[in-house]
Amino acid sequence: MALVAGSLVSLVTVPVVRRWALRAAMDVPTDRSSHTVPTPRGGGIPIALTAALAAAAISLFTDDLHGGAVWGVILLAVAIIGLIDDARGLGTTVRFGVQIGAAITAVVFVGRFESVVIPGLQDPFDLPWVVGAVLATVWIVGLTNAYNFMDGIDGLAGCQGAIAGLAWTALLVSRGDGVVALVPALVAGACLGFLRFNWHPASIFMGDVASTTLGLFFATLGLAVRGDSPEIPVVAFVFVAPFVLDATFTFTRRLVKGENVLRPHRTHIYQRLVVSGLSHARVTVIFAAYMVVAAVVGIFWYRGSLPSIALGAATFAPFVALVAWTSMRERRYAKKG
């Protein structure tokens, strides 16, 4: 029911948001864009509101959701900044400052990394408070931006939100946290409903209002539901690994090449695949398949049904294959051009 309710929220409200965005938040293509037609953005408002309200509301009915009300306020604050950026534009300093503030607030009120298990090793590591807090802050700010960077072609960010949300729902239900599972289920539903309008060719873009909020949501969800499980930080990474690995690989590659990493670009793996001749839809389907594999293996690993080597293979091998395939396609495309 939560999945259906979340979907209906987007299906009903996105057309209303689109009418506003056509007047106030148009995305005009540039040479760095992956689209060629002016398109309204900010369509992810229902997703952002669903995440914030669900986090705050569900916390009223359970003690198993850490910092629920504050968590909802943090999500809403980042969503508002994202919406302003979609409509008017904001400087990097303002956006980054708000994200750091949100991350620190989350660490204080929602949680930090207290312990973590390294796949393949038997005993978890207990982390000192400062180390756990710093790692959590870096993780939150990093994923908030990575998710935003990966929202560059039709359907991609919506698919990651839907699949990661469903994965978290299944994991939480499997360990008996049915009430808490309503939160990611509602978010997954909102993302699925949004895909009705964002699948290629998109009639509206998600915008920073939702891409940054979803990044923050999935970064902090593991902290909010962690309980005493040191496996949760690993699973939180695996569920969004396609986005984290593409963003990290691209950032590192540009840094090594001496490029300005703050400048807009089209060198993410998903963008390079589009430039090499694949459609938005095909690239999104390829990444979605990767997301599903990582999510399913992550759940089974968490439940103790799969060895760590399977987790590592499902998380990293597809990305390595994507990088190799992308390079091969680029060489072929260059020869044809």
For every one of its 337 residues, what pLDDT tens digit does the chain have, with 9 covering 90 and above?
899 999 999 999 999 999 999 999 999 887 777 788 999 999 999 999 999 999 999 988 888 888 889 999 999 999 999 999 999 999 989 999 999 999 999 999 999 999 888 887 767 889 999 999 999 999 999 999 999 999 999 999 999 999 999 999 999 999 999 999 999 999 999 999 999 999 999 999 999 999 999 999 999 999 999 766 889 999 999 999 999 999 999 999 999 999 998 888 999 999 999 999 999 999 999 999 999 999 999 999 999 888 889 999 999 999 999 999 999 999 988 877 5
The confidence score (pLDDT) of residue 228 equals 64
The confidence score (pLDDT) of residue 127 equals 92
* Residues 206, 48: Cα–Cα separation, whole Å: 10
pTM, whole model, 2 decimals?
A: 0.96
* Residue 148 buriedness (CB in 10 A; 0-12 / 13-18 / 19+): buried
What is the phi/psi pair of residue 39, to 5°? -140, 135
* Residues 329, 298: Cα–Cα separation, whole Å: 30
* Residues 213, 143: Cα–Cα separation, whole Å: 10
